[in-house]
Every structure is written in structure tokens, then in C-alpha cells.
Amino acid sequence: MDISLEVNGKTERLTVEPGVTLQDALHERLGLTGTKKGCDRGQCGACTVHVGGRPVLSCLTLAAAVRQPVTTVEGLATEDGLHPVQQAFVDQDALQCGFCTSGQILSAVAAVRDDVDDVREFMSGNLCRCSAYPNIVAAVEQARSAHASV
């Protein structure tokens, strides 16, 4: 089937089988390798992207069902530099092996935007094999402080 996805501000036209996930469409068909396939069961959060501004697990989302704009980690930075959450992850050394980082960052963007009370609870769907959790929480707090001062 022919589909059209708005990804990182650009319209992408693809021909996919009905069962192709958004994760596979992004990673394999569009070459956006920041979106990782971790568990392929919606349990690790490595595949988190934004659809319509909300974090979703792209491994559980059918590409053909997506009707709203998609943002991946590649779509966060601008020509002026890294997104504030990306910069906070660098500043707080919140990325180690990097496998979970893109999913962590997309969830963190939503946590900062929505000013969630319990960062640890909100981010609990994103697993980190390296156990960088204290640094990840510190990065979210840094980004939240920067966001609040804007």
C-alpha cells in the first residue's frame, strides 16, 4: 500500500506492506537510524518517537495508521544547534552506550514540555542497559529548568 508520512517536517511517500511498523519504516525505509529496535515488544522504549507531539512506541505502531506528523531524534536539532534536551543529555553525561538515548530523549522532551511531576515514573518505560538513570533524570531536570526560564 502507498502511504504518506510527515517526518521531521518533510513529506515522505512509501510503499509498504500493511503490517510494517513505524519503527521499520523510519529505520529501514527512510534511513533514520536514531530510532532503535530494542525488544520489538513495546517494553524497552528504545523506539520512542513523537506522533502528533506525543511519545509513542514505534515498534507497536503501524506505519499505515499514522496520520499525524512524526518527529524522530534526528528532527530535534536545528541549524542553531542541539535541542535543549539533547544538550542536557550531553552536559549530564546521560548517554553511555547510546542505544536507548534517542528513545530516552524523545520521552524527556515530552516530560519537559508537559512539566511532569515525577520524572522517574514518566521515564520508567525507557530502559537503559548501562544504568545511567541518575544522569538521565539530571538531564531532564536541567532541561526543565532551562525550559522554565524561557
Q: Are residues 136 and 96 in the same domain?
A: yes
CA angle, residues 4, 83, 22, in degrees to nearest 5: 25
Residue 139's pLDDT band (cuts 50, 70, 90): very high
Q: Which domain, by its residues, includes 6? A: 2-75
Indicate the helix (H) or strand (E) that contains 136. helix 133-148
DSSP result, 60-71: GSBGGG--S-EE
Q: Total domain count for the chain?
A: 2
CATH number at residue 131: 1.10.150.120
pLDDT in tens, 27-73: 999 999 999 999 999 999 999 999 999 999 999 999 999 999 999 99
